[in-house]
Amino acid sequence: MSVSDDSMKENEGGLGETIKVIIQALLLALVVRTLLFQPFSIPSGSMKSTLLIGDYLFVSKYSYGYSKYSLPFGIPLFSGRIMASEPTRGDIVVFKLPRDPSVDYIKRVIGMPGDKIQMIAGQLYINGQAIKHERIDDFIDTDEQGRKTRVERFRETLPNGVSYTTLNLTDNNYLDNTPVYEVPAGHYFMMGDNRDNSSDSRVLSNVGYVPFENLVGKAQVIFFSIGEGKAPWEVWSWPSSARWERWFTSLKPDTEGK
């Protein structure tokens, strides 16, 4: 056998090993994305000031078990959820929009199955009880042009002690006063923290009650954040546009009294 034949065989063997490694890496990434963690980016301001446009976060797929929406393209290999675990009131959750499962939404779990939810004059009521709602320092909102606006901010505390901040852009917004929503069994009531700029379960025709099956996972950590209107791959803009203070920020909520 000639030297050139040996070299060709070695090259073919090296190419085969490279392809094998690439396939294994892709399969590992698919398993991690399907069963463990999936990255998401924040496209809107509905969760300000907790989440900002340009935040990139990891969502744990295992937190609530797995449904068909845990699988790529929502492949219907099974119905319902397996290894199911109920979300906790106050969790930040990524879910499939009930009327269009191709769309991902991210909101906070406010109402559990059987709850009665209502907004009265911008105040949240759960099962007839007003939720603790305290005015704190204003949120300074900055737009793409760098203009700053002061927005009223409140600290809201749910019955289980989970505490977080909400924004109030205007008084007497149409979502500040609502009918009583009775959350059906097997469903959850979701709301954005930016209460006057969030299409959520208060809008029954758009979001409404979210079935347990539609939950994708729980938001865990912001791993990257860049200013609104900037692309993450523009590394040359990072010194001025990256929000360094938000990188690797846990989204675990505060718990009052614990």
Burial readout 131-145 (b: 16 or more C-beta within 10 A, e: otherwise) = eeeeeeeebebeeee
Question: Any catalytic annotation for residue 46?
Answer: yes
- Reported in sequence order, the residue ranges of 51-115 that DSSP labels E, i.e. its strands, are 55-60, 92-97, 100-111
Q: What is the widest separation between alpha-carbon atoms in the chain?
A: 87
Picking from 226, 122, 209, 117, the residue whose alpha carbon sits closest to that of residue 167 is 122
Phi-psi region of 161 (alpha: psi -120 to 50; beta: other; left: phi over 0): left
Length of the chain, in residues: 258
Q: How far apart are the C-alpha atoms of 248 and 121, rounded to whole Å? A: 36
70, 107, 198, 201: the active-site residue: 107
46, 49, 67, 70: the active-site residue: 46
- Which 8-state DSSP code applies to residue 82? B
- Which residues does 45 contact at the CB level (< 8 Å), separation at least 6? 52, 53, 194, 197
Question: Any catalytic annotation for residue 252?
Answer: no
Residues with catalytic function: 46, 107
